[in-house]
Chain A
């Protein structure tokens, strides 16, 4: 029945598919972890507000406004464009053997050659995820009744202590489903980084397809791999949700 399916193509490119799978998973992990940390900061930044006193304007201008602008920019532009922008414009500006602003010379040469596409890909995915996760945090935090915040503050807890011990623990249970969604989206979107020559799953499929001009085998194969991982991820998120519901 599957005689038309040329498994020899998958076998021949097996090392590339395996390496691609590793890169895809690693990219997603980095994106989710870095994105969550940055997202938390950005999410808090977007709702940061001091109502009275000398800190009112500095907080608005230096924290709230930049966070809002960043989130708006990232959510309003395509990830594909962000990847190209970061890899071909931002990173070469910062890391370049001849005139990198941040790193130059031998180190830059080494970084660009060995890990250039990976750095750019991970950076782009993390920065993108951060903006979406920031919104998840913001919504989660705002979903906690304002009375909780006021009660904690009137008990004498500081702003950060209130956030850390009262608000975020309550918000995080509600944030689990959207965070799980974001992780799955990120896994799928990581396929876009093949455009910058980073050998992840979609790149492996593109390479195999490019040589044999056969599209069923490589793309169907990676579809199943993506599907397997996303199913495993949604199962994991589901388990976590159940766990939190019972406690």
Chain B
């Protein structure tokens, strides 16, 4: 008897869930049809303040985020930001798990082969951070020293260029904050990373460190990336970027994060 009751309860609930599902699906489909563009998933490595970081309530904030949100508003893009570790970031774009990447990504030829970039939205340059007491004064003096970088970043490339790709004087970390932490612990002699992040770090640790800019470092530009060949989306992003630059939105966001130019 008990078994019979159980079976009937189970079958009823199964049936109920089935009918529920069939009811829901068409409404979802029409909803998707209604809004011409579905939600786009934006990948960003939210451990890179002030460009992108995560607040205690799990929302992603930062310069990049506000810029892309403003672009999205101008171009009518529905965006959802998802914190995505840097290491797998490019892979996720290729596999279609992310539609857009914004994560202080430097535009370079190697990356252009696997993704399409928007117009540049930020000018960056590499900076070297050393302890206040350090005698290092320029990039070439880092030969024979330990350099901390974030794996796969421009800082990594620059350090690899000086010391060789497989040199054990380069210490690679999953994030720039960890590399900087290693500098605080004196595990490395210097850290090379983008100016935006370094300036943010310096604002909080001025008394212990100094930065060195080296004229041999090339200027770089950050771009917003989409999957190779997605010209429609990149066009919308570029239009939005031009619009927020024209109406002053860009400048006000820039001023909020980096002060006056």
Residues of A within 8 A of B (CB): 12-16, 19, 87-88, 91-92, 96-98, 108-109, 112-114, 116-117, 195-197, 199, 203, 206-207, 209-211, 213, 215
Contact = CB atoms under 8 A, between A and B. Distances in A.
B246 interface: no
B187 A96 contact: no
Contacts of A19: 166, 168
B165 A113 contact: no
Main SS of chain A's interface residues? helix
Contacts of A206: 87, 151, 172
B181 interface: yes
A146 B182 CA distance: 51
A207 B172 contact: yes
A195 B173 CA distance: 6
Contacts of A91: 185
B199 to A, nearest CB: 23
A91 B186 CA distance: 11
B171 interface: yes
A96 B133 CA distance: 14
B91 A213 contact: yes
29 contacts: A16-B165, A87-B185, A88-B181, A91-B185, A92-B185, A92-B186, A96-B185, A98-B186, A109-B186, A112-B187, A113-B146, A113-B186, A114-B146, A116-B182, A116-B187, A117-B187, A197-B148, A197-B171, A197-B178, A197-B179, A197-B187, A199-B168, A199-B171, A206-B87, A207-B151, A207-B165, A210-B87, A211-B160, A215-B91
A97 B187 CA distance: 10
Nearest to A15: B166
Contacts, number: 80
B208 to A, nearest CB: 9
B172 A197 contact: yes
Given A209-B87, A210-B172, A197 B165 contact: no
Interface in B154-193: 156, 160, 165-166, 168, 171-174, 178-179, 181-182, 184-189
B109 to A, nearest CB: 13
Contacts of B184: 92
A203 B188 contact: no
Given A108-B186, A209-B152, A210-B87, 18 more contacts: A12-B165, A87-B185, A96-B185, A113-B186, A117-B187, A195-B178, A197-B148, A197-B173, A197-B182, A199-B171, A206-B172, A207-B151, A207-B165, A210-B151, A210-B152, A210-B172, A213-B114, A215-B91
A120 to B, nearest CB: 9
A97 B88 CA distance: 36
Nearest to A109: B186
Interface string B126-159: 0000000000000000000010100110001000
Interface in B12-29: none
A199 B169 CA distance: 10
B250 interface: no
Contacts of B81: none
A219 to B, nearest CB: 11
A96 B186 contact: yes
Given A12-B165, A195-B178, A215-B91, A97 B152 contact: no
Interface in B69-115: 87-88, 90-91, 114
A109 B156 CA distance: 23
A51 B91 CA distance: 62
Contacts of A209: 87, 152
6 tightest CB-CB pairs across the interface, nearest first?
A: A210-B152, A197-B171, A92-B185, A116-B187, A210-B151, A16-B166
Given A206-B87, A210-B87, A195 B174 contact: yes
A12 B148 CA distance: 21
B92 to A, nearest CB: 11
Nearest to A203: B172
Interface string B1-45: 000000000000000000000000000000000000000000000
A13 B166 contact: yes
Nearest to A197: B171
Nearest to A97: B186
B63 to A, nearest CB: 23
